[in-house]
Amino acid sequence: MHSRLLSLVALATLGHALPALRTPQCTDSIASLTVSTTNFDLSSGTPPPNATIPVSGTFDVHLRFCEPTVLVPSRAGTLQTLLHGGTYGVDYMDAGFEPETYSYVRYAAARGYATLNMDRIGYGASDHPDPMNVLQTPLDVATLAEIIRLSRAGRISGAHRGFDTIVGVGHSLGSVILNSLVAAEPQLLDAVVLTGYAHKLSDIDLPALSGMGPANLIGPARFGGLASDYLSTANASTRAAAFYGVEGSFDPAALAFDEAHKDTVALGEFLTSAAPIPAPKFTGDVLTVNGEDDLVACLEPGCANLKNEAQYYPSANSVDYAVIKNAGHSVNFHLAAQDLYAKIHAWLTQHGY
Ligand SMILES: *[C@@H]1O[C@H](CO)[C@@H](O)[C@H](O)[C@H]1NC(C)=O
Ligand SMILES: *[C@@H]1O[C@H](CO)[C@@H](O)[C@H](O)[C@H]1NC(C)=O
């Protein structure tokens, strides 16, 4: 069984990943970002229709800028900004586990793209503000907007240049934030790639399925210092039940790595992420891609619900969707990860990025 898995991985590597073997040159930094926005009043436990609570502050965010490993002149001014989802951190887009297969950053670097990966605010080495009243999706969106402005202005550590073309690539809650950003400030991004996402999500009880609970109880060694409204998934079994496809679609060692590196999600983010927000003024390109067995975002066989995504982007230059076979919600940790990366990069090339 194990050797069959290994040969599958070897085949996948031969098929797509040979140029991705070099390690990109990356710069980790802590950016101090001053942001202000309007959050929701969550005192009733659910968000009211409108945000009314002003919040502002200066927050440290861990950024990781990586140079391409292959020079493609037409992409010299292009940046892919990568946003992980809830209970993930910088590892989701740049796994330390078999990176030649699982690291999105390496795949992009080998095709001439610089990337800006990060621990979003409230994750990993970034600041952890109040997880109910401060860390909500409006704060995430305002923080991302500031990071994009700094990227265009040439003020990201290690980049030594500004970028005139920026593609946002998200997963799950990271995709929710990207969608909200192109709704609120449609000129900031040129294109968005939304994975593990649909405007209308399934009504499965994700907290129950994933065994969501206070992270400080689930993982006291790593999360003991966090407020109780920072949540995480219970264990590898519940994480696989919620985020992975069927047995055989992932290497158990990839799940073990993911479990060992899992992060938290703030209850305030979770509660403010459900509303399907249209982006009527976004004029760029939109791609939504899900694993066919994504319990969160594929509501119909073959993710046919993704056909409805176009209605949310009436001014977009293009709106497409794609489905990755043999994968669940967190495609980047599946054996099909390279299929996802290939699909995204073929789409980027096709649209001139
Ligand atoms: C919420 O915002 C919408 C649109 O901005 C507005 O029409 C509506 O009156 C607001 N509702 C409340 C309760 O303030
Ligand atoms: C994982 O967590 C779930 C939910 O808390 C629990 O029911 C189950 O027994 C746990 N499994 C293992 C292997 O610890």
Q: Is residue 91 part of a domain?
A: yes
What residues does ligand 1 touch, defined as CB less than 6 Å away? 49-50
CATH classification at residue 255: 3.40.50.1820
What confidence score (pLDDT) does residue 323 get?
98
Q: Is residue 254 part of a domain?
A: yes
Q: Is residue 275 part of a domain?
A: yes
Check pocket membership of 27 for ligand 2, CB cut-off 6 A.
no
**340 SS3 class:** helix
What confidence score (pLDDT) does residue 250 get?
98
Work out how many domains the chain is built from and give that number.
1
Check pocket membership of 213 for ligand 2, CB cut-off 6 A.
no
Q: Is residue 232 part of a domain?
A: no
Check pocket membership of 237 for ligand 2, CB cut-off 6 A.
yes
**Structural contact between residues 162 and 152, judged by C-beta atoms closer than 8 angstroms:** yes
Q: CA triplet 324, 327, 329: central angle to 5 degrees? A: 100
What confidence score (pLDDT) does residue 200 get?
92
As a whole number of angstroms, the distance between CA 193 and CA 268 comes to 24
What confidence score (pLDDT) does residue 21 get?
60
| Ligand 2 site-directed mutation target among 237, 239, 259, 262, most atoms within 8 Å of CB | 237
Alpha carbon of 121 to ligand 1 centroid (Å): 28
Check pocket membership of 235 for ligand 2, CB cut-off 6 A.
yes
What confidence score (pLDDT) does residue 22 get?
81
For 352: left if phi > 0, alpha if psi spans -120 to 50, otherwise beta; the answer is: left
Per-residue tokens: 150: 């700094």
Alpha carbon of 244 to ligand 2 centroid (Å): 16
For the four alpha carbons of 174, 175, 180 and 186, in that order, the dihedral sign comes to positive
Question: Which residues constitute the domain of residue 124?
Answer: 8-204+241-350
Which atom of ligand 1 lies nearest, measured to the CA of 49? 1
User: How confident is the model over 226-284, as pLDDT tens digits?
Assistant: 999 999 999 999 999 999 999 999 999 999 999 999 999 999 999 999 899 999 999 99
Alpha carbon of 128 to ligand 1 centroid (Å): 30
User: How confident is the model over 319-332, as pLDDT tens digits?
Assistant: 999 999 999 999 99
pTM above 0.75, yes or no: yes
Q: Is residue 217 part of a domain?
A: no
Q: What does the pLDDT profile of the chain (353 residues) look like in tens digits?
A: 344 444 444 444 444 445 546 899 999 999 999 999 999 999 999 999 999 999 999 999 999 999 999 999 999 999 999 999 999 999 999 999 999 999 999 999 999 999 999 999 999 999 999 999 999 999 999 999 999 999 999 999 999 999 999 999 999 999 999 999 999 999 999 999 999 999 999 999 999 999 999 999 999 999 999 999 999 999 999 999 999 999 999 999 999 999 999 999 999 999 999 899 999 999 999 999 999 999 999 999 999 999 999 999 999 999 999 999 999 999 999 999 999 999 999 999 999 99
> Which of the ligands is closest to the CA of residue 47?
1
As a whole number of angstroms, the distance between CA 120 and CA 175 comes to 12
User: Which residues lie below 8 Å from residue 97, measured CB to CB, with a gap of 6+?
Assistant: 253, 254, 257, 258
Nearest CA to ligand 1 atom 6: 50
* Strand ranges in the chain using DSSP code E only, listed in sequence order: 26-39, 53-66, 78-83, 114-119, 165-171, 191-195, 213-214, 230-232, 265-266, 285-291, 318-324
Q: Is residue 13 part of a domain?
A: yes
What confidence score (pLDDT) does residue 3 get?
42
Q: Is residue 218 part of a domain?
A: no
